[in-house]
Amino acid sequence: MFLAGASGVMGARLIPLLVAEGHEVVGMTRSASKVEALRLLGAAPVVCDVYDRRALRHAVVEAQPQVVIHQLTDLPDERAKLSEYGRANARIRQEGTKNLLAAARAVGHPRFIAQSIAWTLSGGGAAAVAEFEQLVLDADGVVVRYGQWYGPGTYYETDLPPPPRIHIDRAAARTLEALTTLESVLTLVDA
Protein backbone atom coordinates (compact mmCIF):
# COMPACT_ATOMS: atom_id res chain seq x y z
CA MET A 1 0.00 0.00 0.00
CA PHE A 2 1.33 3.44 -0.95
CA LEU A 3 0.04 6.32 1.19
CA ALA A 4 0.81 9.78 -0.19
CA GLY A 5 0.40 12.42 2.47
CA ALA A 6 1.28 9.94 5.20
CA SER A 7 2.44 12.53 7.70
CA GLY A 8 -0.71 14.64 7.52
CA VAL A 9 -3.52 14.66 10.07
CA MET A 10 -5.38 11.86 8.25
CA GLY A 11 -2.36 9.91 7.01
CA ALA A 12 -0.90 9.62 10.50
CA ARG A 13 -4.18 8.11 11.69
CA LEU A 14 -4.53 5.75 8.74
CA ILE A 15 -1.12 4.11 9.06
CA PRO A 16 -1.77 2.30 12.38
CA LEU A 17 -5.25 1.26 11.21
CA LEU A 18 -3.88 -0.18 7.97
CA VAL A 19 -0.99 -1.93 9.72
CA ALA A 20 -3.42 -3.42 12.26
CA GLU A 21 -5.35 -4.92 9.34
CA GLY A 22 -2.17 -6.57 8.06
CA HIS A 23 -1.22 -4.11 5.31
CA GLU A 24 2.35 -3.12 4.58
CA VAL A 25 2.35 0.66 4.22
CA VAL A 26 4.85 2.78 2.35
CA GLY A 27 4.27 6.29 3.68
CA MET A 28 5.24 9.24 1.49
CA THR A 29 6.12 12.62 2.95
CA ARG A 30 7.92 15.55 1.39
CA SER A 31 9.63 16.35 4.70
CA ALA A 32 12.69 14.39 5.82
CA SER A 33 12.01 15.56 9.38
CA LYS A 34 8.88 13.35 9.47
CA VAL A 35 10.58 10.08 8.49
CA GLU A 36 11.09 8.80 12.04
CA ALA A 37 7.49 9.59 13.02
CA LEU A 38 6.24 7.56 10.04
CA ARG A 39 8.53 4.68 11.00
CA LEU A 40 7.18 4.74 14.56
CA LEU A 41 3.62 4.56 13.21
CA GLY A 42 4.53 1.40 11.30
CA ALA A 43 5.13 2.70 7.77
CA ALA A 44 8.18 2.34 5.57
CA PRO A 45 8.87 6.04 4.94
CA VAL A 46 9.81 7.55 1.61
CA VAL A 47 10.66 11.21 1.10
CA CYS A 48 9.29 12.48 -2.17
CA ASP A 49 7.62 15.56 -3.62
CA VAL A 50 4.50 14.89 -5.68
CA TYR A 51 5.69 17.48 -8.22
CA ASP A 52 8.90 15.55 -8.93
CA ARG A 53 7.36 13.12 -11.41
CA ARG A 54 10.47 11.02 -11.91
CA ALA A 55 11.11 10.52 -8.19
CA LEU A 56 7.42 9.88 -7.55
CA ARG A 57 7.24 7.24 -10.25
CA HIS A 58 10.36 5.59 -8.85
CA ALA A 59 8.92 5.58 -5.31
CA VAL A 60 5.62 4.05 -6.41
CA VAL A 61 7.24 1.47 -8.69
CA GLU A 62 9.61 0.49 -5.89
CA ALA A 63 6.63 0.00 -3.52
CA GLN A 64 4.64 -2.11 -6.01
CA PRO A 65 1.36 -1.26 -4.24
CA GLN A 66 -1.99 -2.88 -4.79
CA VAL A 67 -3.56 0.29 -3.37
CA VAL A 68 -2.53 3.95 -3.67
CA ILE A 69 -4.12 6.33 -1.18
CA HIS A 70 -3.97 10.04 -1.98
CA GLN A 71 -4.23 12.11 1.20
CA LEU A 72 -2.15 15.01 -0.12
CA THR A 73 -3.10 18.60 0.63
CA ASP A 74 -1.22 21.87 0.77
CA LEU A 75 -2.88 23.63 3.68
CA PRO A 76 -1.57 25.85 6.48
CA ASP A 77 -1.30 24.79 10.10
CA GLU A 78 -3.57 27.68 11.10
CA ARG A 79 -7.20 27.91 9.99
CA ALA A 80 -6.96 31.72 9.74
CA LYS A 81 -4.49 31.35 6.83
CA LEU A 82 -6.63 29.02 4.70
CA SER A 83 -7.47 31.65 2.08
CA GLU A 84 -3.74 32.17 1.43
CA TYR A 85 -3.34 28.52 0.40
CA GLY A 86 -6.14 28.21 -2.15
CA ARG A 87 -3.87 28.12 -5.19
CA ALA A 88 -1.33 25.77 -3.64
CA ASN A 89 -4.05 23.32 -2.59
CA ALA A 90 -5.73 23.54 -6.01
CA ARG A 91 -2.37 22.75 -7.61
CA ILE A 92 -1.89 19.64 -5.48
CA ARG A 93 -5.43 18.51 -6.38
CA GLN A 94 -4.85 19.00 -10.09
CA GLU A 95 -1.17 18.56 -10.94
CA GLY A 96 -0.32 16.44 -7.92
CA THR A 97 -3.18 14.06 -8.65
CA LYS A 98 -2.16 13.71 -12.30
CA ASN A 99 1.38 12.88 -11.23
CA LEU A 100 0.25 10.34 -8.63
CA LEU A 101 -2.15 8.69 -11.08
CA ALA A 102 0.63 8.43 -13.69
CA ALA A 103 2.96 6.86 -11.11
CA ALA A 104 0.22 4.39 -10.13
CA ARG A 105 -0.30 3.41 -13.77
CA ALA A 106 3.40 2.54 -13.96
CA VAL A 107 2.69 -0.48 -11.72
CA GLY A 108 -0.50 -1.54 -13.50
CA HIS A 109 -3.86 -0.60 -12.07
CA PRO A 110 -3.71 -0.49 -8.29
CA ARG A 111 -6.85 0.63 -6.48
CA PHE A 112 -6.69 4.42 -6.22
CA ILE A 113 -8.36 6.19 -3.29
CA ALA A 114 -8.35 9.98 -3.01
CA GLN A 115 -9.34 12.52 -0.37
CA SER A 116 -11.94 15.13 -1.34
CA ILE A 117 -14.44 17.33 0.46
CA ALA A 118 -18.17 16.99 1.17
CA TRP A 119 -18.92 20.71 0.99
CA THR A 120 -18.91 23.13 -1.91
CA LEU A 121 -16.15 25.64 -2.54
CA SER A 122 -16.54 28.70 -4.71
CA GLY A 123 -14.57 30.00 -7.69
CA GLY A 124 -11.28 28.35 -8.61
CA GLY A 125 -11.42 26.02 -5.63
CA ALA A 126 -14.65 24.47 -6.90
CA ALA A 127 -13.17 23.99 -10.37
CA ALA A 128 -10.06 22.34 -8.89
CA VAL A 129 -12.16 19.92 -6.83
CA ALA A 130 -14.35 19.04 -9.83
CA GLU A 131 -11.31 18.42 -12.06
CA PHE A 132 -9.53 16.43 -9.37
CA GLU A 133 -12.53 14.21 -8.69
CA GLN A 134 -13.07 13.60 -12.40
CA LEU A 135 -9.42 12.56 -12.81
CA VAL A 136 -9.86 10.00 -10.03
CA LEU A 137 -13.21 8.73 -11.33
CA ASP A 138 -11.88 8.46 -14.90
CA ALA A 139 -9.13 6.20 -13.51
CA ASP A 140 -11.77 4.00 -11.84
CA GLY A 141 -10.65 5.31 -8.47
CA VAL A 142 -12.63 5.99 -5.32
CA VAL A 143 -13.27 9.57 -4.20
CA VAL A 144 -13.70 9.91 -0.44
CA ARG A 145 -15.60 13.10 0.36
CA TYR A 146 -14.98 14.03 3.97
CA GLY A 147 -16.98 16.45 6.06
CA GLN A 148 -14.89 19.07 7.83
CA TRP A 149 -12.71 17.34 10.38
CA TYR A 150 -12.82 18.12 14.06
CA GLY A 151 -10.90 16.71 17.00
CA PRO A 152 -7.19 16.56 17.98
CA GLY A 153 -4.81 17.93 15.38
CA THR A 154 -7.52 19.54 13.22
CA TYR A 155 -8.58 23.15 12.73
CA TYR A 156 -11.44 22.44 15.11
CA GLU A 157 -9.81 20.82 18.12
CA THR A 158 -12.27 22.14 20.71
CA ASP A 159 -15.24 23.42 18.74
CA LEU A 160 -17.41 22.05 15.95
CA PRO A 161 -17.16 23.25 12.36
CA PRO A 162 -20.33 23.90 10.43
CA PRO A 163 -21.83 20.81 8.76
CA PRO A 164 -20.99 18.70 6.95
CA ARG A 165 -18.48 17.48 9.50
CA ILE A 166 -16.95 14.31 10.94
CA HIS A 167 -14.64 13.54 13.86
CA ILE A 168 -11.14 12.89 12.52
CA ASP A 169 -10.82 9.48 14.20
CA ARG A 170 -14.18 8.31 12.87
CA ALA A 171 -13.21 9.60 9.41
CA ALA A 172 -9.96 7.62 9.53
CA ALA A 173 -11.70 4.41 10.59
CA ARG A 174 -14.36 4.80 7.92
CA THR A 175 -11.74 5.48 5.24
CA LEU A 176 -10.92 1.76 5.38
CA GLU A 177 -14.30 1.18 3.68
CA ALA A 178 -12.72 2.61 0.52
CA LEU A 179 -10.46 -0.43 0.29
CA THR A 180 -13.35 -2.71 -0.62
CA THR A 181 -16.30 -0.55 -1.63
CA LEU A 182 -17.95 -0.98 -5.01
CA GLU A 183 -18.97 2.68 -4.91
CA SER A 184 -17.05 5.34 -6.82
CA VAL A 185 -17.76 8.05 -4.26
CA LEU A 186 -17.91 7.67 -0.48
CA THR A 187 -19.22 10.57 1.57
CA LEU A 188 -18.10 10.43 5.20
CA VAL A 189 -19.97 12.82 7.49
CA ASP A 190 -21.57 12.70 10.92
CA ALA A 191 -25.13 11.41 10.76
Q: Tell me: pLDDT of 123 over 90.
A: no
**Residue 191 confidence (pLDDT):** 81
Lowest-pLDDT choice from 82-86, 111-115, 152-156, 178-182: 82-86
Q: What is the pTM of this model?
A: 0.97
Q: Output the pLDDT for position 12.
A: 98
DSSP 3-state assignment of 86? helix
- Residue 145, SS3 per DSSP: strand
CA dihedral (56, 76, 177, 39) positive or negative: positive
Residue 26 · residue 4 · CB < 8 Å: no
Residue range 58-102, pLDDT digits in tens: 999 999 999 999 999 999 999 999 989 999 999 999 999 999 999
- Fold classification of 2-188 is Rossmann fold (3.40.50)
Supply the DSSP string of 48-60, one letter for each residue: --TT-HHHHHHHH
For the chain, the domains span 2-188
**Residues 113 and 68 sit within 8 Å (Cβ to Cβ):** yes
